């Protein structure tokens, strides 16, 4: 059973590999398809963008595809950066994105720094059968990064109940509580009936 993960983000690919390989699913990523160029993510929602990625790769590979569109929604910033999380500071540069986020929140006190990380997963088969799930995790944006694991905004995303940022967790610990882990859990609950449909 081969599933292509429509991502160029190595952090996402690593987390999905950790979650799906034990279920007996063989994973390919876009690293296996170097001929595929940039996919335009010009949708207005996480679901639209994940669907754009999934459908483009399903039609190219003729294999079942999983796409992930994610973003950070910060209450004090009216939900920004949201669907624009990857290019918040211009190019997709995690360090620049984190610096911009800290800068935007510089005057915001500790008790007003709540945020939600959101993931929408879209599974698409070449015949068009589609499955959509999402997941969220609540956290707080710190004033300085902590931890070396994870990727993206993880060093700034603190989970009070765990007393850790997501960058202070192993992949396994993060997957157990993260937006992506929760979405993947919902996906797995419906996976067999989607796969066999």
Binding site residue list for substrate:
7-12, 70, 151-154, 174, 179-180
Which tokens is 68 given?
């992930």
154 scored as a contact of ligand ITT (CB under 6 A): yes
Kindly provide the residue ranges of all beta strands, DSSP E only, lying in the chain, ordered along the sequence: 2-5, 26-29, 65-74, 114-124, 130-141, 157-159, 164-165
Which listed option, ligand ITT, Na ion, none, makes contact with residue 29 (CB within 5 to 8 Å by class)? none
Query: Does residue 69 have an active-site annotation?
Result: yes
Annotated catalytic residue within 69, 80, 94, 171: 69
Q: Does 73 bind ligand ITT (CB under 6 A)?
A: no
One residue of 71, 135, 139, 181 binding ligand ITT per CB under 6 A: 71
Q: Which of 134, 152, 175, 182 binds ligand ITT (CB under 6 A)?
A: 152
If one asks whether residue 181 binds ligand ITT (CB under 6 A), the answer comes out as no
- Contact status, residue 111 vs residue 131, Cβ threshold 8 Å: no
**Closest distance to ligand ITT from the beta carbon of 2 (Å):** 18
Nearest residue to 18 (alpha-carbon basis) of 188, 171, 152: 171
Residues lying near Na ion in the complex (CB under 5 A): 41, 49, 69
Angle CA 122–196–55, to nearest 5: 30
Closer of 41 and 173 to Na ion (Cβ): 41
Burial of 52-68, coded b for 16+ CB within 10 Å and e otherwise, reads bbbbbbbebbeebbbbb
**Count of C-beta atoms within a 10 Å radius of residue 35:** 6
* C-beta atoms surrounding 190 within 10 Å: 13
- Interacting residue ranges for ligand ITT, rule: CB under 6 A: 7-9, 12, 41, 68-71, 85-86, 92, 94, 97, 150-154, 166, 178, 180
Q: Which residues are catalytic?
A: 69
């Amino acid at each position: 059973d081969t599933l292509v993960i429509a991502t160029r983000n190595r952090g996402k690919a690593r987390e999905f590999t950790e979650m799906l390989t034990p279920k007996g699913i063989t994973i390919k990523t876009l690293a296996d398809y170097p001929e595929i160029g940039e996919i335009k993510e010009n949708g207005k929602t996480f679901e639209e963008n994940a669907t754009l990625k999934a459908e483009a790769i399903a039609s190219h590979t003729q294999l079942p595809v999983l796409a992930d569109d994610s973003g950070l929604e910060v209450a004090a910033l009216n939900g920004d950066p949201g669907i624009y999380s990857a290019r918040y500071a211009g190019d997709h540069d995690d360090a620049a994105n984190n610096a911009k986020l800290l800068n935007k929140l510089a005057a915001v006190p500790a008790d007003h720094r709540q945020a939600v990380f959101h993931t929408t997963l879209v599974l698409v088969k070449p015949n068009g059968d589609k499955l959509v799930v999402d997941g969220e995790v609540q956290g707080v944006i710190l004033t300085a990064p902590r931890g070396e694991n994870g990727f993206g905004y993880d060093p700034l995303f603190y989970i009070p109940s765990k007393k850790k940022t997501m960058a202070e967790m192993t992949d396994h610990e993060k997957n157990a509580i993260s937006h992506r882990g929760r979405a993947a859990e919902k996906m797995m609950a419906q996976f067999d009936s989607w796969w066999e449909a």
